[in-house]
Amino acid sequence: MSDIEFAPLPAAEVALFGDLQKNWGWLLAVGILSIALGTIGLGASFGLTLITVLLFGWLLLVAGGFQLVDAFGCAGWKSVLGHVLTALLYILAGYLIVQDPLLASRSFTLIIAGVMIAVGVLRIWMAFQHRVAPGWIWAVLAGLLSILLGGIIIAQWPVSGLWVIGLFVAIELLLNGWAAVFVALAARRAGKIGAAGAAGAAAV
């Protein structure tokens, strides 16, 4: 059964994709590439962790450098000192990260674990505030899962600092890739339905 034989989509949904109906192949390619990179990242989380941390460090260095240069053109601005200090902090943080990406990844991992535990506690607290609403138990389970994952990361720290960031980036690449694939295929289907509708109208 072809895509055109499926139940027709509402006109608003068909129009939603715009030119993506014609260029869906590019988005599909991006999605497939993202899935491939994410799959590779799952098997090389240590390398991906180092790449991610180093990239973050270089971004801080570049951003701090540009901000420092910009500060020289801000004569008379009352906040120029804060502008300069912020730039210097960016440069310092970027330098420290680039100099020792392993230490940086371990530090970031510990922060991530702490944030996950805090978010889990907040989710549970908010869930109990809304326990009269149906489905509140799912929010509790989500909070418990966040706390569990954060606890596992801390329990395996500092070793977890070698793979957690890379694993998260790999999972994000996979999720982004599958989302792009689904949207591209939906745009392709919408384009076929739109073309079929235009052909039918012309025939009438």
More confident residue, 92 or 14: 92
Q: What pLDDT is stored for residue 4 in this prediction? A: 42
Q: Which residues contact 47 (CB under 8 A, 6 or more apart)?
A: 166
Phi-psi group of 135: left, alpha or beta (phi > 0 → left; psi -120 to 50 → alpha; rest → beta): left
Cα 176 to Cα 27, 32, 113, 153, distances in angstroms: 11, 10, 23, 24
Q: What are phi and psi of 187, to 5 degrees?
A: -65, -40
More confident residue, 91 or 8: 91
Q: What pLDDT is stored for residue 56 in this prediction? A: 82
How much is the average pLDDT of 69-94?
76
Closest of 163, 155, 135, 138 to residue 52, by C-alpha: 163
Question: Residue 15 above 60 pLDDT?
Answer: no
Highest mean pLDDT among 11-15, 125-129, 188-192: 125-129
Evaluate the CA torsion angle 167, 172, 173, 174 in order and state its sign.
positive
Predicted confidence band at 3 (pLDDT cuts at 50, 70, 90)? very low
Q: What pLDDT is stored for residue 102 in this prediction? A: 84
Q: What pLDDT is stored for residue 79 in this prediction? A: 66
Given the structure tokens 């990361």, which residue do they identify?
A: 153
The mean predicted confidence, pLDDT, of the chain is 75
Query: pLDDT of 120-130, one tens digit each?
Result: 888 788 777 76
Given the structure tokens 């039918």, which residue do they identify?
A: 200
State the Cα–Cα distance between residues 140 and 120, nearest whole angstrom: 8
Q: Which residues contact 78 (CB under 8 A, 6 or more apart)?
A: none
Q: What pLDDT is stored for residue 16 in this prediction? A: 57
Q: What pLDDT is stored for residue 75 in this prediction? A: 65
Residue 37 and residue 51 in contact, taking contact as beta carbons nearer than 8 Å: no
Domain boundaries, the chain: 22-198
Q: What pLDDT is stored for residue 204 in this prediction? A: 53
Q: What are phi and psi of 172, to 5 degrees?
A: -65, -40
State the Cα–Cα distance between residues 112 and 49, nearest whole angstrom: 13
Given the structure tokens 């989509």, which residue do they identify?
A: 9
39 burial type by CB count under 10 A (0-12 exposed, 13-18 middle, 19+ buried): middle
Q: How far is CA 122 from the centre of its chain?
A: 22
Residue 95 and residue 63 in contact, taking contact as beta carbons nearer than 8 Å: no
Query: pLDDT of 33-62, one tens digit each?
Result: 888 888 888 888 788 788 888 888 898 898
| Full-model pTM | 0.63
